[in-house]
Amino acid sequence: DAKTTQPNSMESNEEEPVHLPCNHSTISGTDYIHWYRQLPSQGPEYVIHGLTSNVNNRMASLAIAEDRKSSTLILHRATLRDAAVYYCILRDQAGTALIFGKGTTLSVSS
């Protein structure tokens, strides 16, 4: 599986937008970009995924660069509940496993 690079940590204030970057320069044309997050003392939960086009759902938006070598997870208005570790994961066509990296620890202040 191709590798991803994320900042170790980021900070945000409540009610402000948060942009979480992910670099994946070795991504192949058929790799999907997935984001999961893990809240304290819980199992990971799915956030969003995409292939080429930007994606939106009720939790977040995913902006994918035109060359697909990077992507950004956007939380439009951070809340205290969004404090978590966010993982950017690539899955290939046969990918049945999630290969987690270190992720980005997001802190949200009131």
Partner 1 sequence: KAGVTQTPRYLIKTRGQQVTLSCSPISGHRSVSWYQQTPGQGLQFLFEYFSETQRNKGNFPGRFSGRQFSNSRSEMNVSTLELGDSALYLCASSSGRPSTDTQYFGPGTRLTVL
| Chain residues in the site for partner 1 (CB under 8 A) | 30, 32, 36, 38, 42-46, 49, 87, 91-103
- Beta carbon nearer to partner 1, 80 or 99: 99
Provide the minimum distance between the beta carbon of 29 and partner 1 in the complex, in angstroms, as a whole number: 12
C-alpha distances out from residue 12 to 54, 61, 62, 68, 81, Å: 23, 17, 18, 26, 12
Helices and strands (DSSP H and E) totals, the chain? 0, 9
- Beta carbon nearer to partner 1, 75 or 91: 91
Provide the minimum distance between the beta carbon of 88 and partner 1 in the complex, in angstroms, as a whole number: 13
Q: In what order do the strands lie in the sheet with 61-64?
A: 18-23, 70-75, 61-64, 55-56
- Beta carbon nearer to partner 1, 36 or 70: 36
CB 53 within 8 A of CB 4: no
Provide the minimum distance between the beta carbon of 82 and partner 1 in the complex, in angstroms, as a whole number: 18
